[in-house]
Each structure stands twice: as structure tokens, then as C-alpha cells.
């Protein structure tokens, strides 16, 4: 599990980088518009659902989906208090909204409620493989019967090393993210190189099955960026 010293480092990191991520995502370099069209469709299929958002940031892209298909309750978890303040504003008008400044794993392990949907976008790949496995176990325990984990994240190709993945992803950033000022692009590349640890789809599936999930489905894929849904065994 993440240690307190590591968590302190991550808190400082998230406070520094969340605004940069927000600016980059606005340019749609990571296919947020296409991805959240699929997320909105997944939420549209549910009614009277509770949702836990892990690594919610400022909820910029999820908020419109929730306003279109309101949950009965929303809990957002993030390490950045600044991002959470903005998330509260974007989620204003929805029922039973709570935002929590804490680590994703700690939130799952400390929580005693169950949720119909647990959602996470571009956050889980920051965890180590061990912590990802713990997160799958904790998530499965916190899902209601018929509940699902919706995961938006980057995924490595089968057989691809992290180094080869980074070479390709960073090369794409430097070639195609032309609207990002050079200093900010350098900062974004440094963040990816230091903190991105994506798994392959087969590894994520194996972790999910080890935690008790019965189904893993690729809803959509945009190059490395995936929309995945993991269903409980009783779904």
C-alpha cells in the first residue's frame, strides 16, 4: 500500500500538475470527448445509482455526464484540495455530493459503504502493480450486487515493455501536442516518464479475476487510451 511519505509526495505532485492536465485535456489530445461520450452512455443505462469517483480531480469531464444522468449520490476522492473545490462547483445541483481529500486505496479500504458504480479516469496507472491488485480487491468489496468498475486509462500493448511504451507515448506528445507551450510540454513529459506505470490488458484482466471480477470488457479504445468495464461475479 502507499506509504505516508509517498502519499505526501503525491499530494505535492497532484497540487502542481492538475491544472496542467486540465489544460492539456481541453485540447483533446487524450480523446476525452470521445471517451466521455462512452462513459455517458454507460451511466445512461443505470438508474438510482451511487457512484464513487477515484482520482476525480476537478470532475471537468465527468460532471456533464452526471448532470445528464444524475446519480442518487456521488463521492469523489482526490489528493488535490484545489481540484476538489472546483469539482464541488461543477457538481453543484446534483444530490448528495461529497468530496474527500485522500488517497484512492485508503478511501476504498476505510469506506464501509457499497456503490453501484466505481469510476476512475487516468489515475490507476500511477499505482504500482501491487497497489493496482490491492485496488481491484478493495473495489470488488465496495461494489453493490450488480455493480461495475468503469476504468478509463492508458494500457500497454501485449508484450510491450514500459520503456517502449514511454518511448512511443512521449514521442507522440512531442510530435502532436503542438498547442501546448514548450515549458508545459516538458513538464507533462517529465510527469509521464516519472509516474506512469500502465499495465497490459491481460494483466489488468488477471488482476480483476484474482479479485473476484467475472467479466472484463473493452468498451472503446483510442490508441493507448481505453474505456474498460469490470463486472462483479453476480452481475
pLDDT tens across 142-186, in order? 999 999 999 999 999 999 999 999 999 999 999 999 988 898 899
Tell me the DSSP string of 125-143. GGS-HHHHHHHHHHHHHTE
Average confidence (pLDDT) over 191-200:
96
pLDDT tens sequence across 116-134: 999 999 999 999 999 999 9
Higher pLDDT, 134 or 110: 134
Give residue 190's pLDDT band: very low, low, confident or very high (50, 70, 90). Answer: very high
pLDDT of res. 146 = 92
Give the chain's mean pLDDT: 91
Higher pLDDT, 53 or 15: 53
Burial class (CB in 10 A: 0-12, 13-18, 19+), 36: buried
Instruction: Kindly provide the b/e burial profile for residues 82-96, where b requires at least 16 CB atoms within 10 angstroms of the residue's own CB.
Output: ebbebbeebbeebee
pLDDT tens sequence across 29-69: 999 999 999 999 999 999 999 999 999 999 999 999 999 99
Give residue 3's pLDDT band: very low, low, confident or very high (50, 70, 90). Answer: very low
pLDDT of res. 5 = 45
Residue 217, beta-bridge partner list: 229
Give residue 235's pLDDT band: very low, low, confident or very high (50, 70, 90). Answer: low
Helical axes 81-90 vs 4-26, angle rounded to 10°: 50
Name the DSSP class of 124: G
4 pLDDT above the threshold of 50: no
Spatial distance between the Cα atoms of 216 and 30, rounded to a whole number of angstroms = 22
CB 148 within 8 A of CB 114: no
pLDDT of res. 21 = 75
pLDDT of res. 16 = 58
Name the DSSP class of 200: B
pLDDT of res. 93 = 96
Q: Global pTM?
A: 0.90
Provide the 3-class DSSP secondary structure of residue 150.
Answer: strand
pLDDT of res. 20 = 75
pLDDT of res. 9 = 54
Give residue 17's pLDDT band: very low, low, confident or very high (50, 70, 90). Answer: low
Tell me the DSSP string of 154-180. E-BPTT--HHHHHHHHHHHHHHH-TTS
Give residue 12's pLDDT band: very low, low, confident or very high (50, 70, 90). Answer: low
Amino acid at each position: 500500500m502507499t506509504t505516508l511519505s509517498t502519499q505526501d509526495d503525491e499530494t505535492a505532485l497532484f497540487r502542481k500538475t492538475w491544472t496542467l492536465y486540465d489544460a492539456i485535456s481541453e485540447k483533446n489530445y487524450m480523446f476525452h470527448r470521445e471517451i466521455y461520450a462512452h462513459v455517458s452512455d454507460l451511466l445512461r443505462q443505470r438508474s438510482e445509482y451511487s457512484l464513487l469517483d477515484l482520482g476525480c480531480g476537478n470532475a471537468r469531464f465527468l460532471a456533464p455526464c452526471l448532470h445528464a444522468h444524475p446519480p442518487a449520490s456521488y463521492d469523489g476522492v482526490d489528493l488535490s484540495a484545489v481540484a476538489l473545490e472546483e469539482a464541488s462547483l461543477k457538481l453543484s445541483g446534483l444530490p448528495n455530493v461529497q468530496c474527500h481529500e485522500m488517497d484512492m486505496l485508503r478511501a476504498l479500504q476505510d469506506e464501509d459503504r457499497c456503490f453501484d458504480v466505481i469510476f476512475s479516469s487516468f489515475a490507476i496507472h500511477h499505482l504500482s502493480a501491487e497497489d493496482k491488485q490491492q485496488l481491484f480487491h478493495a473495489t470488488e468489496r465496495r461494489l453493490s450486487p450488480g455493480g461495475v468498475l468503469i476504468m478509463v486509462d492508458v494500457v500497454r500493448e501485449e508484450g510491450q515493455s514500459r520503456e517502449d511504451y514511454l518511448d512511443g507515448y512521449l514521442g507522440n506528445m512531442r510530435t502532436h501536442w503542438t498547442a501546448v507551450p514548450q515549458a508545459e510540454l516538458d513538464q507533462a513529459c517529465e510527469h509521464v516518464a516519472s509516474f506512469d506505470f500502465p499495465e497490459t490488458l491481460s494483466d489488468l484482466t488477471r488482476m480483476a479475476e484474482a479479485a473476484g471480477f467475472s467479466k472484463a470488457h473493452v468498451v472503446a479504445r483510442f490508441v493507448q487510451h481505453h474505456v474498460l468495464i469490470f463486472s462483479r461475479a453476480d452481475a
